[in-house]
């Protein structure tokens, strides 16, 4: 009943508590302090709410530090949590006051409730004051063996935080982390992996990094399905990198031949067999069940892994193409769409046959964003082959003409241009279609059409068909273009006219110099009325024509100066050329005048210079690049970076597979059931005593570099009467005197227990060994080796 | 990994921020870089901000570039799920402002040192109690129940289900929701033969539209209010190929077994690619409204006709929010000359809407309209004479939803409670099933 009541009144409560939160605003600091110092729990809670909401509004909540920190002893868990969040945020600025809270937070490590313990180690480790590092080390040591997986998970992350402030204790910390990586609970292992990756991401410890993974590789693979989604994705990424570095590259067999798996499988025969290392197979098989989980980023990790480790067959087995296509079209997950499309385009580079049957699901919907549409077009044009070209081109044509967005339209035209590679027949068809549509096109689309036409002509030019038919084709196109140019009803923009003139001039040789002269004749008539770039292109056309006919004349008639003079005066092209030059020399545009003079000097000058001129006027231009658009958007770039993996290593230098022999699982949860003498009660007892003795213990065990002179007073001391505080700490009231006595006793006890405890640990390990008879005795030894090598590494580190 | 979470309104005013540590950039220092950009914004070589606008707010995460690029979005989705669960739907500025303390506690659990940690809202409920202001009594009972659960197994047992679930009304609901996205095209030959008789055309629908591409996005939403640890079995009429919530034990059968999280969650989502269905099934899987669409009609070839057919089908009583959008890709005006049902409105921006709202089955509404090009006024006569060119809409878009069935024909056959620890045997939970069809991009091209 209460639950329903709760559900019903959530709305009401939300607005009601809004009013409540407003009462003591940040404008009245005194009031907040008063609340924080109140003895009534509700007031403190409200005060904390104000402080936290100040933090979340980017107001400075630092002035309340002392008021807040003393509430760490509150009985209300929520208040305590809020204080911890506050403390961890500002501890760096007020280290001295923050230290006061540490004692109390540490006390919470012995709380019965695992949530409290977890929160405690979490906040404690987040206090970035380097002087407390030894205490943190000790706390981590305790919580590594906590019996709640939740606490151990928090410890795994805490290790990363402690490492940041205390690089010198890294050896110890990594040992703890190694223990957690081998934990019995998948949850703890998962978190440990997250933390591990984060720590290793900060430092350049690659050798060290991988040495900790060898022994766990197989177990991690098996545990993948049991991790939470965050750990899954991170673990898959880690294992993929590992496999690239330490596993032999799979081999593909086509018939008798065998080759290493290539980075791209495009153009690879469809039938092949694969052999791969059993460890690699283990990883791939354990991922197969994860494909069905509904966390998209795990899928991206799997895709990354498969593309870099497995042949395209495996991607098909995993049903990746269908899943990605579904993801790319899922209208409720728009931010993911573009990523899915980029992943598809990456896979297409790997093996485009995977998506060849899926092309229809990549057609553009009207609600697609421009980026999505462009990426879809890019993929479509790369998927084209004989079987689907008809449908894809039809769709692209529709988009080119009917699209609601001009940039999508011009992108479609580009895509059509790329599709022409399929066959000569399609090249011809597309060219024809382009010529038909050029009349209706506008703006950018028109320019794209002309670029595509130029590209298609050049492709035809390079084709290995016989010269005569090829030239016939080209002259047909050029003729059509010249008709378009003459059609005064079209009102083409000057840019387009200029481009057409350029194309006609460029390919005039292929048309036996027949069409261009007439075009030039017409253009010269209206030269004065044309726009600047058209006039410029007309000049260029004239000089190209002249240079070509001059060359022809020279070849057929000889090149004596008299003959050339003869040519200049009689030939019609020559006359048009000199007319064009005369006109252009008086052009209002600086550029055109300049160019006209240059060409005049070159072509009308000495024999040598005419050769030079014909060289640069007739040089074949390279085809415009019909580049793919991939990685043009941020998503593409980010994903590209993510998909990067290390290179395969040379098989001969790989360490033997035996390094991946599984290490024993660590029974970190120390309870009576394990059969050791350390019982849960002794641990809690020890943890309970910890706050009083930590200083002595820490100095005993860690020899801190700088002498640690902090006397950690309890909060009661600090906030006690002024008079008492003034006096030395020896001179305290009876309660703390007793405590002091206790402390001394405990100190000794603790030491003894500590030793005892360590003995137990050894014993326990021996027990493990005995139990693990089935496994060879090599395991502990290996473990030992591992540790020793770790030691070296960390020594290096310290230097 | 994730270094900060910000929430702002649409005018870039900060509503909420959470920084994982003191060094993380605060929102106001980033706002000039983010400005009005969308998607992913690079802040520097190592950091990016991911933006996600929803309703009246924008959620941002500041992440380092080493992470899986999709992860930040998934984190935002998780955060929204949690906000919905704690503060109710829809997400709104005032809710965040008045609960920013709880939100901080929640995000503090969801992120530990920037690493996504406990993100499942069921698990968070165990850790961050949602104490609404009014509920002194509630908090008392919480404490009592809390006292009793301490004996129960710890929460790690089922990572997705909170441990102290108690309801007096036990109930569970299954919602199967499918969204149809399709691009249809007129069969060209038909249009030509139909040109002059179209106005009073009495042709019945005979499948003149051909799908070019399409898909059906489906999902099964589940709402469970069940005491204890219920083990459920959901039998569907056919197997679905999709991705499942982690609670589902078997994914290769039409009978799903699972222990549900408490509250509402997405049990499964799937996508049916229409292109992979056989031709004759394609049209029948498009839902309850059939369309007939002709254009280029009339003397000036600038008229069009849309006929909708709503065949009677058992289980479906009415079509809701039915409307048809007519889009042009040039500047022009759309007019309606005759319509049998609903309202027609030209909305400007080359778009018109024919709104039929809720309409019962068995009715066949018709719209007859015409298009006037914008430049028509200037040289009216010239246009009249030489318009050999057809004026037609770019596409029409159909929008509707209906209850009672889904296009793929997916049905729940039964929903059983296999076992339930902690629930008295006499309790018979209420079971409810709902089928909803919606349209996403339902487009007919000219």
- Count the neighbouring beta carbons within 10 Å of the beta carbon of residue B208: 19
What's the CA gap between A194 and A188, in Å, rounded? 10
- How high does pLDDT run on average in chain B? 80
pLDDT tens-digit map of A348-384: 888 888 888 888 888 888 888 888 888 888 888 888 8
Interchain pair A148, B156: CB under 8 A:
yes
The predicted pLDDT at position A420 comes to: 79
- How high does pLDDT run on average in chain A? 74
For B86-109, b/e burial (b = at least 16 CB within 10 A) is bbeeebbbebbbbbbbbbbbbbbb
Question: Residues of chain A with pLDDT > 90: what percent?
Answer: 1
Higher local confidence (pLDDT), A325 or B153: A325
pLDDT tens-digit map of B14-50: 889 898 877 788 888 888 888 777 788 888 888 888 8
Residues of B in contact with A9 (CB under 8 A): 132, 134-135
In-domain check, residue B332: no
Window A:282-301, CB contacts with B under 8 Å = 291-297, 300-301
Pairing of strands B242-244, B263-273: antiparallel
What's the CA gap between B240 and B249, in Å, rounded? 14
Residues of B in contact with A58 (CB under 8 A): 14, 17, 26-28
Residues of A in contact with B100 (CB under 8 A): 21, 52-53, 56-57
Residue B354, CA atoms < 13 Å, CB-side half-sphere? 24
The predicted pLDDT at position A67 comes to: 84
Window A:639-678, CB contacts with B under 8 Å = 639, 641-642
Higher local confidence (pLDDT), A757 or A128: A128
Residue A651 CA to its chain's centroid (Å): 29
Please indicate if any CB of chain B lies within 8 Å of the CB of A154. yes
Which stretch of A430-444, B104-118, B399-413 has the lowest confidence by average pLDDT? A430-444
**What is the total count of domains within chain B?**
1
In-domain check, residue B384: no
Please indicate if any CB of chain B lies within 8 Å of the CB of A146. no
In-domain check, residue B246: no
What's the CA gap between B262 and B266, in Å, rounded? 12
Please indicate if any CB of chain B lies within 8 Å of the CB of A612. no
Of A3, A81, A291, the CB nearest to B167: A3
Of A1, A56, A89, the CB nearest to B22: A89
Q: Give the chain B residue whose CA is nearest to the CA of A160.
A: B113
In-domain check, residue B315: no
Residues of B in contact with A634 (CB under 8 A): 39-42
In-domain check, residue B118: yes
- Count the neighbouring beta carbons within 10 Å of the beta carbon of residue B18: 25
The pTM score is: 0.78
Which stretch of A222-231, A683-692, B211-220, B308-317 has the lowest confidence by average pLDDT? A683-692
In-domain check, residue B336: no
Is pLDDT above 60 for A216? yes
The predicted pLDDT at position A681 comes to: 37
The predicted pLDDT at position A626 comes to: 61
Interchain pair B213, A228: CB under 8 A:
no
Torsion of CA A769, A770, A774, A778, to 10 degrees: 40
The predicted pLDDT at position B384 comes to: 46
The predicted pLDDT at position B195 comes to: 44
Q: Are A710 and A131 in contact (CB under 8 A)?
A: yes
Interchain pair A9, B132: CB under 8 A:
yes
Q: How far is A271 from chain B (nearest CA, A)?
A: 24
What's the CA gap between A46 and A89, in Å, rounded? 19
Interchain pair A639, B69: CB under 8 A:
yes
Window A:221-280, CB contacts with B under 8 Å = 228-230, 233-234, 237
Please indicate if any CB of chain B lies within 8 Å of the CB of A126. yes
The predicted pLDDT at position A11 comes to: 53
The predicted pLDDT at position B221 comes to: 92
Residues of B in contact with A440 (CB under 8 A): none
pLDDT tens-digit map of A58-99: 888 888 888 888 888 888 888 888 888 888 888 888 888 888
The predicted pLDDT at position A206 comes to: 59
CATH of the domain at B45: 3.30.450.60
Cα–Cα separations (whole angstroms), residue A241 to A204, A306, A450, A648, B57: 15, 12, 46, 9, 38
In-domain check, residue B37: yes
Pairing of strands B115-116, B111-112: antiparallel
Q: Averaged over B212-216, what is the pLDDT? A: 87
Interchain pair B101, A21: CB under 8 A:
yes
Phi, psi of B188 (to 5 degrees): -60, -40
pLDDT tens-digit map of A680-717: 333 333 333 333 333 433 333 444 444 444 444 455 55
Interchain pair A14, B98: CB under 8 A:
yes
Residue from B30, B40, B58, B69 to probe the interface with A (highest A Cβ count within 10 Å): B69
The predicted pLDDT at position A439 comes to: 73
Which residues are registered as beta bridge partners of B335?
B370
The angle at the Cα of A176, spanning A171 to A179, to the nearest 5 degrees, equals 130
Residues of B in contact with A13 (CB under 8 A): 132-135
Q: How far is A293 from chain B (nearest CA, A)?
A: 5
Of A81, A160, A336, the CB nearest to B105: A81
Is pLDDT above 80 for A463? no
Q: Are B59 and B52 in contact (CB under 8 A)?
A: yes
Question: Which H or E run includes A241?
Answer: helix A229-246
In-domain check, residue B85: yes
Q: Give the chain A residue whose CA is nearest to the CA of B21.
A: A89
Interchain pair B100, A52: CB under 8 A:
yes
pLDDT tens-digit map of B328-341: 888 888 888 888 98
Give the best-scoring range by mean pLDDT among A84-98, A668-682, B124-138, B378-392. A84-98
Higher local confidence (pLDDT), A748 or A304: A304
Residues of A in contact with B268 (CB under 8 A): 294
Q: Give the chain A residue whose CA is nearest to the CA of B92.
A: A14
The predicted pLDDT at position A207 comes to: 63
Is pLDDT above 70 for B116? yes
The predicted pLDDT at position A203 comes to: 61
Residues of B in contact with A15 (CB under 8 A): 94, 98
Window A:336-365, CB contacts with B under 8 Å = 336, 338-339, 358, 360-361, 363, 365
pLDDT tens-digit map of A474-516: 888 888 888 887 777 767 778 788 888 888 888 887 777 778 8
Q: How many CB pairs under 8 A join A and B?
A: 261
pLDDT tens-digit map of A242-290: 888 888 888 888 877 778 877 777 777 777 888 888 888 889 888 888 8
Of A13, A228, A367, the CB nearest to B132: A13
Give the best-scoring range by mean pLDDT among B199-213, B237-251, B379-393. B237-251
Q: Averaged over A574-578, what is the pLDDT? A: 85
The predicted pLDDT at position A724 comes to: 43
Question: Residues of chain B with pLDDT > 70: what percent?
Answer: 85
CB neighbour list of residue A53: distance below 8 Å, 6 or more residues apart: A21, B97, B100, B101
Q: Averaged over B389-396, what is the pLDDT? A: 82
Interchain pair A10, B87: CB under 8 A:
yes
pLDDT tens-digit map of B54-70: 888 889 999 887 788 88
Give the best-scoring range by mean pLDDT among A421-430, A665-674, B205-214. A421-430
Which stretch of A111-120, A682-691, B180-189, B195-204 has the lowest confidence by average pLDDT? A682-691
Of A53, A56, A198, the CB nearest to B1: A198
Is pLDDT above 60 for B127? yes
What's the CA gap between B400 and B365, in Å, rounded? 14
Whole domain around residue B41: which residue ranges? 2-127
Is pLDDT above 70 for A198? yes
CB neighbour list of residue B229: distance below 8 Å, 6 or more residues apart: B158, B161, B259, B420, B421, B422
Pairing of strands B430-445, B171-186: parallel
| Confidence class for position A401, pLDDT limits 50, 70, 90 | confident
Report the complex ipTM: 0.85
Q: Give the chain A residue whose CA is nearest to the CA of B120.
A: A228
Is pLDDT above 90 for B174? yes
Strand, helix or coil for residue B377: coil
Q: Give the chain A residue whose CA is nearest to the CA of B446.
A: A402
Q: Give the chain B residue whose CA is nearest to the CA of A47.
A: B101
Is pLDDT above 70 for A763? no
The predicted pLDDT at position A607 comes to: 66
Is pLDDT above 90 for B175? yes
Q: How far is B313 from chain A (nearest CA, A)?
A: 28
Please indicate if any CB of chain B lies within 8 Å of the CB of A404. yes
Question: Residues of chain A with pLDDT > 70: what percent?
Answer: 76
Q: Give the chain B residue whose CA is nearest to the CA of A83.
A: B105
Q: Give the chain A residue whose CA is nearest to the CA of B105.
A: A82
Residues of B in contact with A5 (CB under 8 A): 138
Q: How far is A526 from chain B (nearest CA, A)?
A: 28
Is pLDDT above 90 for B113? no
Residue from A13, A371, A392 to probe the interface with B (highest B Cβ count within 10 Å): A13
Which stretch of A16-20, A363-367, A462-466, B425-429 has the lowest confidence by average pLDDT? A16-20
Interchain pair B101, A49: CB under 8 A:
yes
Residue from B49, B91, B94, B101 to probe the interface with A (highest A Cβ count within 10 Å): B101
Residues of A in contact with B99 (CB under 8 A): 14, 17
């Amino acid at each position: 009943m209460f639950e329903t009541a709760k559900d019903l009144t959530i709305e009401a409560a939300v607005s009601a508590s809004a009013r409540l939160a407003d009462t003591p605003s940040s404008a009245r600091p005194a009031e907040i302090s008063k609340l924080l110092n109140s003895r009534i729990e509700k007031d403190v809670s409200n005060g904390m709410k104000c402080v936290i909401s100040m933090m979340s509004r980017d107001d400075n909540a630092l002035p309340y530090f002392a008021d807040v920190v003393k509430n760490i002893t509150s009985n209300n868990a929520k208040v305590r949590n809020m204080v911890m969040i506050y403390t961890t945020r500002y501890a760096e600025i007020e280290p001295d006051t923050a230290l006061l809270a540490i004692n109390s937070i540490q006390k919470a490590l012995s709380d019965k409730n695992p949530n409290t313990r977890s929160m405690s180690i979490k906040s404690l480790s987040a206090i970035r004051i380097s002087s407390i590092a030894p205490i943190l080390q000790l706390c981590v040591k305790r919580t590594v063996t906590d019996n709640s997986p939740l606490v151990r998970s928090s410890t795994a992350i805490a290790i990363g935080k402690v490492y940041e402030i205390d690089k010198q204790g890294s050896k110890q910390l990594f040992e703890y982390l190694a223990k957690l990586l081998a934990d019995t609970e998948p949850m703890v292992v998962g978190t440990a992996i997250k933390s591990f990756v984060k720590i290793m991401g900060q430092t350049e410890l690659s050798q060290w990094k991988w040495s900790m993974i060898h022994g766990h590789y197989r177990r991690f693979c098996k545990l993948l399905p049991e991790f939470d989604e965050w750990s899954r994705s991170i673990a898959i990424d880690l294992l993929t990198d590992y496999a690239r570095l330490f596993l032999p590259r799979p081999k593909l067999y086509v018939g008798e031949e065998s080759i290493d798996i290539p980075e791209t499988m495009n153009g690879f025969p469809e039938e092949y067999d694969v052999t791969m290392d059993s460890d690699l197979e283990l990883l791939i098989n354990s991922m197969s069940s994860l494909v069905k989980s509904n966390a998209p980023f795990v899928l991206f990790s799997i895709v990354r892994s498969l593309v870099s480790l497995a042949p395209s067959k495996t991607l098909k087995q995993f049903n990746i193409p269908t899943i990605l296509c579904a993801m790319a079209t899922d209208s409720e997950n728009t931010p993911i769409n573009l990523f899915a499309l980029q992943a598809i385009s990456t896979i297409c580079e790997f093996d485009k046959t995977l998506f060849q049957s899926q092309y229809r699901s990549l057609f553009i919907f009207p609600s697609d964003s421009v980026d999505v549409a462009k990426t879809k077009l890019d993929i479509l044009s790369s998927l084209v082959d004989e079987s689907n070209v008809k449908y894809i081109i039809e769709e692209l044509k529709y988009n080119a003409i009917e699209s609601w967005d001009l940039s999508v339209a011009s992108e479609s035209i580009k895509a059509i241009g790329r599709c022409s590679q399929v066959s000569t027949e399609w090249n011809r068809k597309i060219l024809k279609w382009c010529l038909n549509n050029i009349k209706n096109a506008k703006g950018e689309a028109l320019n794209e059409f002309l670029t595509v036409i130029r590209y298609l002509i050049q492709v035809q030019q390079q084709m290995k068909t016989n010269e005569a038919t090829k030239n016939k084709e080209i002259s047909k196109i050029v003729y059509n273009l010249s008709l378009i140019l003459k059609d005064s009803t079209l009102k083409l923009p000057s840019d387009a006219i200029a481009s057409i003139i350029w194309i006609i001039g460029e390919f005039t040789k292929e048309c036996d110099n027949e069409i261009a002269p007439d075009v030039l004749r017409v253009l010269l008539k209206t030269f004065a009325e044309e726009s600047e770039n058209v006039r410029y292109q007309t000049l260029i056309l004239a000089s190209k024509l002249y240079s070509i006919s001059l060359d022809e004349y020279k070849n057929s008639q000889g090149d004596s100066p008299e003959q050339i003079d003869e040519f200049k005066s009689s030939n019609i092209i020559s006359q048009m050329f000199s007319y064009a030059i005369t006109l252009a020399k008086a052009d209002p545009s600086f550029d055109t005048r300049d160019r006209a003079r240059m060409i005049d000097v070159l072509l009308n000058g000495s024999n040598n210079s005419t050769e030079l001129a014909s060289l640069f006027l007739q040089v074949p231009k390279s085809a415009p690049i019909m580049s793919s658009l991939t990685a043009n958007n941020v998503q593409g770039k980010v994903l590209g970076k993510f998909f990067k993996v290390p290179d395969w290593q040379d098989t001969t230098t790989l360490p033997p597979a035996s390094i991946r022999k599984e290490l024993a699982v660590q029974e970190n949860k120390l309870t009576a059931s394990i059969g050791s003498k350390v019982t849960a009660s002794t641990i809690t007892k020890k943890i309970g005593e910890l706050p009083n003795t930590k200083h002595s213990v820490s100095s005993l065990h860690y020899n801190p570099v700088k002498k640690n002179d902090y006397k950690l007073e309890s909060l009661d001391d600090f906030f006690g009467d002024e008079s008492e505080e003034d006096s030395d700490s020896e001179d305290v009231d009876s309660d703390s005197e007793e405590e002091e006595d206790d402390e001394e006793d405990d100190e000794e006890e603790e030491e003894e227990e500590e030793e005892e405890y360590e003995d137990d640990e050894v014993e326990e390990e021996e027990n493990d060994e005995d139990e693990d008879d089935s496994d060879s005795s090599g395991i502990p030894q290996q473990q030992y080796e591992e540790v020793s090598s770790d030691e070296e590494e960390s020594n290096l580190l310290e230097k | 990994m994730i270094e900060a979470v910000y929430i702002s309104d649409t005018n870039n005013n900060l509503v909420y921020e959470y920084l994982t540590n003191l060094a993380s950039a605060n929102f106001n220092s980033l706002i000039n870089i983010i400005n009005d950009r969308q998607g992913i914004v690079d802040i520097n070589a190592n950091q990016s901000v991911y933006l996600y606008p929803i309703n009246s707010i924008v959620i941002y995460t500041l992440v380092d570039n080493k992470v899986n690029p999709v992860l930040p979005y998934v984190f935002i989705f998780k955060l929204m799920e949690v906000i919905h669960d704690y503060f109710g739907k829809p997400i709104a500025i005032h809710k965040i402002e008045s609960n920013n303390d709880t939100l901080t506690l929640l995000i503090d659990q969801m992120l530990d040192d920037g690493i996504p940690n406990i993100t499942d809202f069921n698990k968070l409920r165990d850790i961050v109690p949602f104490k609404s202001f009014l509920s002194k009594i509630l908090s008392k009972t919480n404490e009592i129940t809390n006292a009793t659960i301490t004996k129960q197994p710890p929460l790690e047992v089922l990572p997705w289900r909170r441990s102290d679930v108690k309801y007096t009304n036990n109930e569970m609901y299954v919602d199967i929701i499918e969204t149809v996205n399709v691009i249809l095209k007129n069969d060209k030959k038909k249009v030509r033969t139909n040109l002059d008789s179209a106005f009073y055309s009495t042709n019945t629908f005979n499948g003149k539209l051909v799908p070019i591409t399409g898909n059906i996005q489906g999902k099964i939403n589940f709402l469970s209010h069940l005491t204890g640890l219920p083990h459920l079995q959901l039998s569907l009429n056919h197997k679905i190929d999709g991705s499942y919530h982690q609670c589902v034990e078997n994914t290769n059968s039409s009978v799903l077994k699972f222990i549900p999280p408490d509250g509402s969650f997405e049990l499964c989502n799937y996508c049916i690619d229409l292109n992979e269905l056989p031709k004759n099934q394609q049209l029948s899987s498009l839902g309850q409204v059939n369309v007939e669409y002709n254009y280029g009609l009339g003397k000036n070839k600038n008229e069009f006709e849309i006929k909708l057919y709503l065949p009677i089908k058992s289980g479906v009583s009415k079509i809701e929010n039915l409307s048809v959008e007519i889009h042009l890709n040039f500047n022009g005006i759309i007019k309606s000359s005759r319509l049998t049902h609903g309202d027609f409105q030209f909305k400007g921006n080359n778009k018109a809407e024919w709104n039929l709202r809720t309409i019962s089955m068995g009715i066949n509404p018709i719209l007859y309209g015409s298009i006037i090009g914008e430049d028509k006024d200037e040289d009216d006569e010239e246009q009249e004479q030489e318009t050999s060119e057809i004026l037609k809409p770019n596409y029409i878009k159909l929008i509707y939803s209906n209850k009672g069935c889904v296009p793929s024909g997916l049905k729940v056959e039964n929903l059983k409670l296999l076992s339930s620890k902690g629930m008295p045997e006499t309790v018979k939970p209420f079971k409810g099933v709902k089928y909803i069809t919606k349209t996403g991009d339902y487009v007919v091209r000219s």
